[in-house]
Amino acid sequence: MDLTQPTGQMPPPRPKNWLVESILVTIFCCLPFGIVGIVNAASVNSRYDVGDYAGALNASQQAGKWTKIGFFVGIGVYVLYILFVIVLGVSLIPHNG
C-alpha cells in the first residue's frame, strides 16, 4: 500500500523533465550549463516516483532554467564567433610572417 498520498486522490501530473533538451544543449551549445540541466532533469522522474512532487517540480524548473541559459549562452557565443571571424576578419590562428 502506498502511504505517500491520501487514498482516493490522484497525484498531480508529472512535471516536464527537460532531459532531451538538456542533452542537446550540452552537445551543441554550452557544456557546463547543459550538464547542470541534465543533473536536474534526471532527478525529476525519480522524485516524482517516490511522491516528492514539490521536489520534482523544483527539479523541473531548475532543469528548464539551466537548459535555457545554456541555449542562449551558446547562441551568443556563436553570434560573437561569426561577428569576429567572418565580419571583422579576425583570425584565431596566428600567422607567421
Domain boundaries along the sequence of the chain = 19-87
Residue 3 binned pLDDT confidence (cut-offs 50, 70, 90) = very low
Contact 59, 12 (CB under 8 A): no
- The residue whose grid cell reads 540541466 is 37
Question: What pLDDT is stored for residue 5 in this prediction?
Answer: 55
Helical H segments across 1-52, by residue range: 19-28, 31-49
Angle, helix 31-49 to helix 53-81, in steps of 10 degrees: 160
Angular region, 10: left φ>0, alpha ψ -120 to 50, beta rest: beta
Between 71 and 97, residue with greater pLDDT: 71
Between 46 and 10, residue with greater pLDDT: 46
Mean pLDDT (the chain) is 87
pTM: 0.77
- The residue whose grid cell reads 525519480 is 46
Lowest pLDDT segment from 2-6, 32-36, 50-54, 57-61: 2-6
